[in-house]
Structure 1
Amino acid sequence: MTEIVFTKAYFTKSAPSIRECPPETGAEVAFAGRSNAGKSSAINALTNQKLARTSKTPGRTQLINFFNLSDNQRLVDLPGYGYAKVSREQKEKWQRDLSEYLQKRQCLKGLILLMDIRHPLQEFDTTMLNWAIKGNMPVHILLTKADKLSRMQANNSLFAVQKQLKQANLDKLVSIQCFSALKYAGLDELKAKLQGWLAPEPAADIPVVTETPH
């Protein structure tokens, strides 16, 4: 298995809807989260460069942004949601586009869903989870800004979200971890998850049994 070098990521395209996305080739993993969840910071920490634009005005990412890791592996930055001062019509369009992308994009291998560890499982988060599960899409939750809490508080939040996922029977397709872009905490775990989705181990060759001539 070839190890992915995330620092080689580079921007390739912004798409206003699924129809303008790059062709369905290779494999991609999408990042989604509320506008203040630290999505851009997580992508920048992962790639060790200022790849995704961070903004003091939440909700600036209104396009689907594509970053190539190789010719057939991509990271996708989905529009942030929750705080942008836009019309109801615009928000409804974003919801339709996100839902369509998660359920119909064939080369999408998984969703990284970011939530502020102090305010997990908000309405948007559960909506995204439901869309992904409906499309049988594996989800990995990053509980971001873990540096804002003590280790015990962070673990308590992690266990509480795990419990809610189990009660909702979502724990089969959903994994979860604590994360801090500021401290680079949880980065190796995130890289391992992405590696597994984007460059899975090839299936072991099954030996072919040939009949011996009599």
Structure 2
Amino acid sequence: MIYCVEDEFNIRELFLYTLESTGFQAKGFSCGSELFQALETQIPQLILLDIMLQGEDGIEILKKIKSSTKTKDIPVIMVTAKGAEYDKVIGLDTGADDYMTKPVGMMELISRIKAVLRRTSNKQKNKDYDYQIKDLTMNVDKHIVTVAGEDVTLSCKEFNLLKLLMEHKGSILNRDQLLEQIWGYEFDGETRTVDVHIRMLRQKLGKASEYIQTVRGFGYRLSE
């Protein structure tokens, strides 16, 4: 999924048509608030971002994207009419992965997107983990959890519980959601089962246990 933030309707529609014609799924937004609302439900592969937008400009939006642990790894290509060297430097130094000046050729745009996706894909392959929060990391395929570089041995349920919390980092998951996702629809136990496993998980994580927060009356959240 590619997100495109562009306030000019015709340009946005052209970008979306080009992306979809070349095999990408794409969604368009006219402003930053629409983008951040969409980011709450789905993280895209890449964001195309204009600078001159109504409300927050593209640089401010980029700063927010790169300052959030949830979105900081999303590659961003600036696509804007601001072509001065100073503007390019600001965009790239703020965290953009590439910078294109309008008018842009559609073939070049697709090539730039593919190049950025290749680079970011290679970075992901070189990582030893799939999820991270400070010194707590998880490698899903290898079933490895580490705290400050030291392996932590978890049961299958504990591992899946931590994985679910890390996947939804910053979001509150209630006990019923955790029961449904980890134990399945047919589980006849009580929600206290979740509390017991959370307590055991915290004990094994040691100092990293502080990242698992209890939200009274709601459930649990993994947060820095």
Query: Per the shorter chain, which TM-score range?
Result: 0.3 to 0.5
Higher relative contact order (CA 8 A, sep 6+): 1
Between structure 1 and structure 2, the one with the greater Rg is 2
